[in-house]
Amino acid sequence: MDKRRLSTKNMVYYAILMALNVVLTRVGSIRIGGGGVELVRIGFGGYPIIFAGIAFGPLAGGIVGTIGDIVGHFMSPMGPYMPHFTMTAALTGIIPGIVMMLFKENKNSFWKLLVAIGIGQVITSVLLVPYFMKTLFSVPLVTTIPGRAISQAVQIPLYAFITQTIQKRLSVVYANE
């Protein structure tokens, strides 16, 4: 893919990924609240952020995550706005993008994608979000970490497979241009 970050074409891709993030997170997810805050969200809203980081680099992943979280919150709030979660959304795209930059060859390897996505999701979804839920809303870690770890055990390989498939298909499209 064309990695020039500020081309018109790439800005359109970022906008599409932000829109997907907002829709999949706020509309296409199952949200379970308690005490005026969202305790659990089951869905694929983080995937467009991760894909942006892997396909376009960590800066793009951070931009898609940040803007997607802010727009999504104000469109469909569940509790007060907390910048902690915006930072976590940005890191969801930044971390896999940085990890993928460290790999020199065969960046479409399932195992490399698994490592990049896994590191990012463990840090953000399994550790940071529960930590902020505890710090900000007194939600015990024991109630959030186990469910998040189990869901990521399923989502991480699924995201790696989807990313590998999309990248293979896009490389064929770009080869024919």
The pLDDT value given to residue 76: 85
- Asked if the structure places residue 70 within a domain, the reply is yes
E-strand ranges in 96-169 read none
Query: Does residue 177 carry a pLDDT above 80?
Result: no
Query: Does residue 99 carry a pLDDT above 50?
Result: yes
- Asked if the structure places residue 132 within a domain, the reply is yes
How far does the chain reach from its first CA to its final CA, in angstroms?
12
The pLDDT value given to residue 155: 92
- pLDDT 10s digits, 5-45: 678 999 999 999 999 999 998 888 776 666 655 556 678 99
Query: Does residue 55 carry a pLDDT above 80?
Result: yes
C-alpha pair distances (Å), 167 with each of 7, 13, 33, 134: 20, 14, 36, 37
The total of structural domains in the chain comes to: 1
The pLDDT value given to residue 62: 98
- pLDDT 10s digits, 125-152: 999 999 999 999 898 999 889 888 988 9
The pLDDT value given to residue 34: 63
- Asked if the structure places residue 105 within a domain, the reply is yes
Q: Which token pair is 19? A: 């829109």
* Contact indicator for 50, 93 with CB cutoff of 8 Å: yes
| pLDDT above 70 as % of the chain | 89
- Asked if the structure places residue 1 within a domain, the reply is no
The pLDDT value given to residue 2: 47
Residue 85's domain spans which residues? 8-175
Of 4 and 81, more confident: 81
Whichever domain contains 100, its CATH number is 1.10.1760.20
Of 48 and 151, more confident: 48
Query: Does residue 85 carry a pLDDT above 70?
Result: yes
- Asked if the structure places residue 2 within a domain, the reply is no
